[in-house]
DNA sequence: CGGTAAATTGACCTGGGTCAATAAATGTGG
DNA sequence: CCACATTTATTGACCCAGGTCAATTTACCG
């Protein structure tokens, strides 16, 4: 695993690491910072697919597709570690336990995607935004234990909208409502979850890093 | 691979193979028929996550979670081949090329999920239904080459709605409109794509089984 | 200290939801 | 094969969550 993190590269906030439909063959591990991936539809609207945090692998679809199905852009200054996809081939051959773990992570991400699918298909604007806030806070806390109920949402309201399938205007209205309901407090970009239990209820939120069962994993070679 | 398909089991249409939140440890290969997976939200609404076709692996999240995150139910009579998840552990250890292929399929499925995410978040009701029709026809054609532009949608309009985040009533209206626009024809459950090019344009549809690049796969052991 | 991006808010609009009635299809027991 | 019961499809009337447009205000940045 350490070998993947050899050649770190620093990126400024707002750097496009990969553009939709561009050809590519490199993968990355995100070591520091926050990024996102999105697609643009042909009416010009944007759907944010995923937020990316330290430890996440970026551009994994390079394993499969000639051209990128998504754009990846940094939301803060970031450190990434590029590696060639042939490394994955070698890893699968030589490190069964590690490749099993990659499959597990993939599976978790897939379930998280289906959660968002259900949120977009079947929940209200308020619930989707509540879920987003919880998700971001939880992901941030995984790499920064000092984060409690308050954190800086590094997203514009337009980005929140593009992630939740809403307009920036309506995001603003819902944030205000969540505040009036006493579920969150806001101060500039800083959000405090003042009633996390009720927020989680409003959001239908399930933390997919809980409830794992990994006894079947093969031993390390 | 053949070993996975040893003990085939026949299931009647409408059989629940796995229920959300039930504990489990078995995986399946779907050999014949069509199934779907869905979640129920606590207001009682349903989101269909995925339709399943021959060759698909079912209940893969058993690899990871103690309790199932989704319900799986057959939409037609089906043949499934159950196997224990320990088989996957063995497979990863002994068959690198095969496990790489599993990763590739997982990745394709993930990209297909993000396509649906973008559809739910950012496209109109008509576009989502058009995309669903194309997707189902294409998946059916992969195992039944006799299928051309006409096929039997084995879904009720309510199911179409639960897959696309719409109500059954609105699905009905949109199907009628697609028909009036000359993009499809309908006769009972049978759908004919009378203008596939325009339907694909309306749907923003991308076939994710095209444009693959698999040169990096490790050789068979 | 301007100048631009982001947040906020009001007024108004619309795509898709809700409710309800009817018709068509499908299934079932006898 | 038939009569009835249950789903499913269809349609009209009306409603509302969230979108659109436009005007300010506030925050950020060189």
Q: What is the pLDDT of residues A136-165, one digit of tens each?
A: 999 999 999 999 999 999 999 999 999 999
Q: By C-alpha distance, which of A92, A101, A9, A105 is closest to A52?
A: A105
Sheet containing B57-58, strands listed edge to edge, beginning at the edge strand earlier in sequence: B9-11, B78-84, B26-32, B57-58
What does the pLDDT average to over B70-78?
95
Separation between the CA of A188 and the C1’ of D26 (whole angstroms): 10
**Strands, sheet with A35-40, edge to edge from the N-terminal-most edge strand:** A16-18, A71-74, A35-40, A46-52
Residue A51: which pLDDT band, with cuts at 50, 70 and 90? very high
DSSP A218: P
The domain locations on chain A are 2-84, 114-203
- Sequence-distant (6+) residues with CB within 8 A of B171 are B125, B129, B157, B158, B160, B161, B164
Topology (CATH) of B2-91: Jelly Rolls (2.60.120)
Q: What is the pLDDT of residues B11-32, one digit of tens each?
A: 999 999 999 999 987 899 999 9
Q: How far is the CA of B172 from the C1' of D11 (A)?
A: 10
In chain B, the percentage of residues whose pLDDT exceeds 90 is: 82
Q: Give the residue-averaged pLDDT of A47-64.
A: 94
Tokens linked to B31? 């050999």
Average pLDDT, chain B: 93
Instruction: Give the range among A54-58, A59-63, B71-75, B110-114 with minimum mean pLDDT.
Output: A59-63
Kindly report the nearest CA distance between residue A10 and chain B, in angstroms: 27
Asked if A213 reaches chain B (Cβ–Cβ under 8 Å), the answer is yes
Right CATH for A2-84 from 3.30.450.40, 2.70.150.10, 2.30.250.10, 2.60.120.10: 2.60.120.10
Contact B59, B26 (CB under 8 A): yes
Q: What is the pLDDT of residue B31?
A: 94
Q: Do B165 and A66 touch (CB under 8 A)?
A: no
Q: Look at the block and give the residue holding tokens 């080459």.
A: B145
Residue B6: per-residue pLDDT: 72
**pLDDT for residue B3 is more than 70:** no
What burial class does residue B195 get, using C-beta atoms within 10 Å of its C-beta: 0-12 exposed, 13-18 middle, 19+ buried? middle
Percentage of chain B modeled with pLDDT above 70: 97
pLDDT in tens, B42-59: 999 999 999 999 999 999
Residue A115 near residue A108 (C-beta atoms within 8 A): no
Per DSSP (E only), the strands in A112-219 are 150-152, 184-187, 190-193
φ and ψ at residue B162, rounded to 5 degrees: -70, -25
Mean pLDDT rounded to a whole number for chain A:
93
- CA-wise closest residue to A108 among A214, A218, A221, A219: A214
- Write the pLDDT tens digit of every residue in A77-106: 999 999 998 899 999 999 999 999 999 999
Q: Is it true that B2-91 and B125-203 share their CATH fold? A: no
One CATH from 1.20.1440.120, 1.10.150.120, 1.10.10.10, 3.40.50.1100 for A114-203 = 1.10.10.10
Specify the nucleotide whose C1' lies closest to residue A127 (CA).
D17
In this structure, of A4-8, A10-14, A216-220, the range with the lowest mean pLDDT score is A4-8
Count CB-CB contacts under 10 A for residue A190: 11
Contact criterion met (CB below 8 Å) for B20 and B71: yes
Residue A99 has its nearest CB partner, among B49, B90, B92, at B92
User: What does pTM read for this prediction?
Assistant: 0.94
| Whether B85 contacts B106, CB under 8 Å | no
Distance CA B100, CA B82 (A): 21
Q: Which long-range contacts (CB under 8 A, 24 or more apart) does B153-158 make?
A: B153/B189, B153/B190, B153/B191, B154/B34, B154/B75, B154/B76, B154/B189, B155/B75
Count of all residues that appear for chain A in the document: 221
Distance separating alpha carbons of residues A138 and A147, to the nearest angstrom: 9
| Confidence class for position B210, pLDDT limits 50, 70, 90 | confident
What are residue B147's phi and psi, to 5 degrees?
-75, 125
Q: Which of residues 99-138 of A touch B (CB under 8 A)?
A: 99-100, 102-104, 106-111, 113-114, 116-118, 120-123
Count CA within 13 A, CB hemisphere, residue A101: 12
| pLDDT value at A213 more than 90 | no
Residues 6+ apart with CB under 8 A from A73: A14, A15, A16, A17, A35, A36, A37, A38
Residue A73: pLDDT over 70:
yes
The strand pair at B9-11 and B78-84 is best described as antiparallel
- If contacts are CB pairs under 8 Å, which of residues 60-79 in chain B contact chain A? 60-61, 63-67, 69-70
For position A188, what pLDDT does the model report?
87
Q: What is B125-203's CATH topology?
A: Arc Repressor Mutant, subunit A (1.10.10)
Q: Decide if pLDDT at A50 tops 70.
A: yes
Contact B39, B70 (CB under 8 A): yes
Q: Is pLDDT above 70 for A2?
A: no
Mean pLDDT, residues A4-30 taken together: 89
Token readout for B198 is 């325009």
The per-residue pLDDT for range B145-193, each reduced to its tens digit, is: 999 999 999 999 999 999 999 999 999 999 999 999 999 999 988 999 9
B211: left (phi over 0), alpha (psi -120 to 50) or beta: left
Task: Please give the C-alpha separations between residue B150 and each of A201, B84, B140, B156, B184, in angstroms, as whole numbers.
Answer: 44, 38, 11, 17, 9
pLDDT at B73 over 70: yes
Residue recorded with tokens 């794992």: A212
**What is the average per-residue pLDDT within B87-105?**
92
Rounded distance between C-alpha atoms, residue A47 and residue A36, angstroms: 11
Contact B113 A118 (CB under 8 A): no
pLDDT value at residue A215: 86
The single-letter DSSP state of residue B3 is: G
């Amino acid at each position: 695993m350490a070998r993947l993190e050899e050649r770190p590269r620093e990126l400024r906030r707002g750097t496009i690491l990969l553009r939709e439909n561009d050809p590519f063959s490199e993968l990355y591990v995100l070591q520091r910072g926050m990024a996102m991936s999105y697609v643009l539809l042909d009416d010009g609207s944007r759907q944010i697919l995923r937020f990316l945090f330290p430890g996440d692998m970026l551009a994994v679809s390079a394993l499969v597709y000639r051209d990128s199905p998504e754009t990846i852009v940094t939301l803060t200054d970031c450190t990434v570690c590029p590696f060639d996809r042939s490394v994955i081939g070698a890893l699968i051959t030589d490190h069964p336990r590690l490749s099993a773990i990659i499959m597990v992570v993939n599976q978790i991400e897939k379930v998280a995607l289906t959660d968002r699918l259900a949120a977009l298909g079947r929940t209200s604007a308020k619930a989707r935004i509540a879920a987003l806030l919880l998700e971001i806070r939880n992901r941030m806390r995984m790499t920064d234990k000092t984060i409690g109920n308050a954190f800086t949402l590094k997203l514009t309201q337009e980005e929140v909208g593009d992630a939740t399938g809403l307009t920036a205007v309506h995001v603003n209205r819902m944030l205000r409502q969540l505040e009036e309901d006493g579920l969150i407090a806001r101060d500039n970009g800083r959000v405090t979850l003042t009633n996390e239990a009720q927020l989680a209820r409003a959001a239908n939120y399930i933390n997919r890093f809980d409830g794992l069962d990994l006894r079947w994993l093969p031993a390390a070679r």
